[in-house]
């Protein structure tokens, strides 16, 4: 495990925890660091790609919307399971509108004139499972499960637990 004080793991669990300043370049560096260390450095290609997309979208949304230019930290915890990753993201920024998860709708788009934004929550809600949001006082907590394969989705129940071979 690197000596960076912003990166920690629970011994024996394979869990990883990063505390990231809510700044675009810090998020970019944290994503590079995250996918270069165990356990994420040896993920199957499908899970790695999904994790990179979803985690980047979540972290960037927090920087852009929850903190919106103010200072703060993002606490990211990742716990591998036998067929995916459980992720928890905590911040102290503004709550989500209506204290609820955004819906997963694509923005109106024409091939020649694609909008710059609006795809994030669609990607998150499409690629992740068991996505949950809670606002407790001044704390936002988002949890989600990233399945390793389509086969893993078939054996997952609604609580997010899995049956592994």
CA distance 105 to 17: 30
What average pLDDT does this structure show over 145-155? 65
Note if the pTM is more than 0.75: yes
For residues 101 and 143, the model is more confident at: 143
Count Cβ neighbours within 10 Å for each residue of 73-108 and write b for 16 or more, e otherwise: bbbbbbbbbebbbbbbbbbbbeebeeeebbeeeeee
CA distance 83 to 95: 31
| Cα R_g (the chain), whole angstroms | 16
pLDDT digits (tens, 9 = 90+) for 123-149: 999 999 999 999 999 999 999 999 987
pLDDT digits (tens, 9 = 90+) for 10-19: 444 578 999 9
7-154 in CATH: which number?
Answer: 3.30.565.10
C-beta of residue 129 within 8 angstroms of C-beta of residue 144:
yes
Q: Is the dihedral of CA 107, 47, 58, 37 positive or negative?
A: negative
pLDDT value at position 110?
52
């Amino acid at each position: 495990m690197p000596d960076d004080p912003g990166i920690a793991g629970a011994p024996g669990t394979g869990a990883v925890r990063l505390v990231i300043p809510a700044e675009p370049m810090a998020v970019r560096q944290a994503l590079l660091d995250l996918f270069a260390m165990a356990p994420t450095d040896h993920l199957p290609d499908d899970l790695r790609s999904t994790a990179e997309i979803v985690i980047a979208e979540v972290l960037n949304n927090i920087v852009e919307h929850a903190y919106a230019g103010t200072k703060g930290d993002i606490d990211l915890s990742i716990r591998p399971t036998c067929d995916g990753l459980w992720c928890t993201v905590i911040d102290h920024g503004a709550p989500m509108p209506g204290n609820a998860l955004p819906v997963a709708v694509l923005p109106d788009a024409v091939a020649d004139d694609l909008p710059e934004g609006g795809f994030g929550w669609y990607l998150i809600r499409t690629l992740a499972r068991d996505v949950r949001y809670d606002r407790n006082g001044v704390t936002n907590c988002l949890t989600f499960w990233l399945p390793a394969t389509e086969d893993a989705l078939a054996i997952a129940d609604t609580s997010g637990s899995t049956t592994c071979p």
